[in-house]
């Protein structure tokens, strides 16, 4: 199956990977980009303060159904990203997505097909997808 937007993006990524074409470079750059995503979130909380992270153990009743479980779970984020932090996070996620796409391209995998297969798996497993 084809999706022109993701296929076009994957083609552009393939054309742009010149200096870091080695699988080792792509893997290390993807890992570095992942760290930068984490750092952007941490800086939003610690340097900017536009968000705060308030993590605690969820209080889940013993007799809760699996369908009701999401209402007892939290993402632990208080506040919203300011424009600067949103831009920084989008930038870092874009770089991470670039290297993920480069990884797919290197192995001849379609990012669109991977997303479609994952969506089908999620639709099949539904709430039982506890990965």
Are the C-beta atoms of residues 13 and 98 closer than 8 Å to each other? Answer: yes
Q: Assign 58 to helix, strand or coil.
A: coil
Please, where are the H alpha helices in 18-82?
23-43
Domain span at residue 76 reads 4-128
DSSP for 72-115, written as a single string = G----EEE---HHHHHHHHHHHHHHHHHHHHHHHHTT--HHHHH
Residue 122 to residues 18, 23, 117, 127, 131: CA-CA distances in angstroms? 35, 29, 9, 8, 11
Whole-model pTM: value is 0.83
Looking at the DSSP bridge assignments, the partners of residue 18 are: none
Q: How far apart are CA 96 and CA 94, in angstroms?
A: 5
pLDDT of 114 > 70? The answer is yes
The CATH number of the domain where 33 resides is what? 1.10.287.1080
How far apart CA 130 and CA 9 sit, in angstroms, is 30
Domain tally for the chain?
Answer: 1
Element (H, E) at 51: strand 51-53
pLDDT tens profile 54-90: 999 988 888 988 888 888 889 999 999 999 999 999 9
Over residues 31-57, the pLDDT tens digits come to 999 999 999 999 999 999 999 999 999
> Is 128 within 8 Å of 37 (Cβ atoms)?
no
């Amino acid at each position: 199956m084809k999706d022109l937007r993701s296929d076009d993006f994957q083609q552009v990524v393939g054309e742009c990977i010149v200096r870091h074409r080695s699988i080792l470079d792509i893997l290390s750059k993807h890992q570095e980009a992942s760290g930068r995503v984490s750092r952007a979130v941490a800086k939003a909380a610690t340097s900017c303060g536009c968000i705060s992270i308030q993590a605690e153990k969820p209080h889940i009743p013993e007799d809760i159904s699996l369908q009701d479980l999401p209402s007892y779970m939290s993402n632990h984020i208080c506040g919203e990203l300011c424009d600067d932090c949103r831009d920084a996070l989008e930038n870092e996620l874009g770089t991470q997505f670039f290297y993920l796409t480069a990884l797919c391209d290197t192995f001849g995998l379609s990012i669109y097909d991977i997303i479609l297969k994952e969506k089908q798996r999620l639709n099949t497993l539904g709430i039982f997808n506890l990965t």
